[in-house]
Amino acid sequence: MKWLKFMWLFLAVVLVGCQERVRPVEKPAYFKEADLALAHLAKSVSQQIGGLKFPDTPVPIDEFFNESSAEVATSGKIFQTQLASLLSKEHTKLAFASLNRKNIESAQWIVLSSYAPVKEKIAEQPGAWVRLKVTVADVVTGQQLASSESFLQASQFQSDPTRFFKEAPMYLNDQRHRERIDVINGKAQPLKQKLTIQAIFAEAVTAYDDGKYDEAEAAFADVLKLAPDHRGALTGKYQILWQQGKKAEAVTAFTNLLSLSADSGNVSIRILFKLNGTDFVDVGDLAQQYRLWTKSMGQVITAKSRCLDVVGHASRSGSAEYNDRLSFQRANRIAGLIQQQTPATHGKVKAFGKGYQETIVGNGANDASDAIDRRVEFVVKTCS
């Protein structure tokens, strides 16, 4: 009977080998031109899917999104279009196109793309770099079919977020965002419904960026029909009301968004300060909005009978002692403003400075690429 046992073992190994396609380990590839970095990605994933049975429907390509903050940068949108063109040339029997609500309906494959500024001492080449990742996955199961990465010189990547993300009050790196990252990193997650929502959301963001608020509002409403707790769409609803001058309605929309987000216990708010100080930046009406956001935060924790930690963070530039002090001063400014606006919060709000102990990007560039490192976090908790 030993031969029977070994035969079953042999068959099991063969079956496993059929299910898991072993891909060669890539050596880090560094490029000083975006065209070359994208061409490397397109060629690499094309070679990996070459032996698979191709779907007979178009393959959507998502925008390159920031792994840390879920934002889409200027280059993220440009690269999406360029990658679709390069992949179409590599595989003439496949049609590649930017993700939209129409092509995701019948899609069998999806191309997910992300970028991340490289932390200090990670890159094998001197200088500042941005890591680009591309993954081809099954739409239904989220199983990874191909994956590749390349490093692009940071000066060749336009890291400024598009208008919607630049004006958003919160970073949108929520559970939906983390699940896309999981698939890019090889952990399968069901994608179909999430990609349908993402396609409509991207459509809404594009309309907002173009100043087409009626179209954006309708698309954000479509997202909320499918996902009532979608932070991005709720943020979009607030931003449109604010842009239309409907301040009272905007306040209500933001308070609702904040109340929902606070239930998760941690909220990252985009509050920008002048360099080396605690004064808000002089950009448009941001200072007015900041006061609205802090007032809403005070009202939310009062309504929920909760306490609040205001945690300031700094980017990795300057000494540790300096950034510890500056991050605390900024958090203390926000904590003081909340208590001033909502007296019921006195004794329930504490300020902390983390300096650059908890950077997310950590490249110390002090520009749009590491803006999330200079964030203020609100930690909503039970009062002790």
Contacts of 158 (CB under 8 A, 6+ apart): 73, 74, 75, 78
Q: Report yes or no on 145 lying in a domain.
A: yes
CB neighbours (10 Å) of residue 146? 20
Q: Report yes or no on 3 lying in a domain.
A: no
For 21-57, the pLDDT digits (tens) are 445 556 789 999 999 999 999 999 999 999 899 999 9
Q: Are residues 33 and 154 in the same domain?
A: yes
At residue 129, φ and ψ (nearest 5 deg) are -135, 155
Q: Are residues 237 and 257 in the same domain?
A: no
Residue 9 pLDDT > 50, yes or no?
Answer: no
- And the tokens for 76? 């993220």
Q: How many domains does the chain have?
A: 2
CA separation for the pair 381, 358 (Å, rounded): 20
Tokens 């990609």: give the residue: 195
Q: Which helix (H) or strand (E) holds 290?
A: helix 286-303
CA distances to 35, 182, 230, 374, 381 from 358, rounded to whole Å, are 34, 21, 26, 10, 20
Q: Are residues 177 and 307 in the same domain?
A: no
CA separation for the pair 139, 107 (Å, rounded): 7
Are residues 147 and 133 in contact, defined by beta-carbon separation less than 8 angstroms? yes
> Among 193-197, 206-210, 361-365, which is the least confidently predicted range?
361-365
Q: Name the residue range of residue 132's domain.
A: 24-244
CA separation for the pair 158, 70 (Å, rounded): 16
For 185-200, the pLDDT digits (tens) are 999 989 999 999 999 9
> Among 58-62, 172-176, 184-188, 238-242, which is the least confidently predicted range?
172-176
CA separation for the pair 129, 363 (Å, rounded): 9
Q: What is the DSSP letter of 22?
A: P
Q: Are residues 217 and 264 in the same domain?
A: no
Q: Are residues 224 and 264 in the same domain?
A: no
CATH number at residue 327: 3.30.1330.60
Which among 203, 228, 244 is the end of a domain? 244
Residue 124 pLDDT > 80, yes or no?
Answer: no
Q: Are residues 56 and 181 in the same domain?
A: yes
Q: Are residues 141 and 214 in the same domain?
A: yes
Q: What is the mean pLDDT of the chain?
A: 87
Q: What confidence score (pLDDT) does residue 247 get?
A: 92
Q: What is the DSSP letter of 272?
A: -
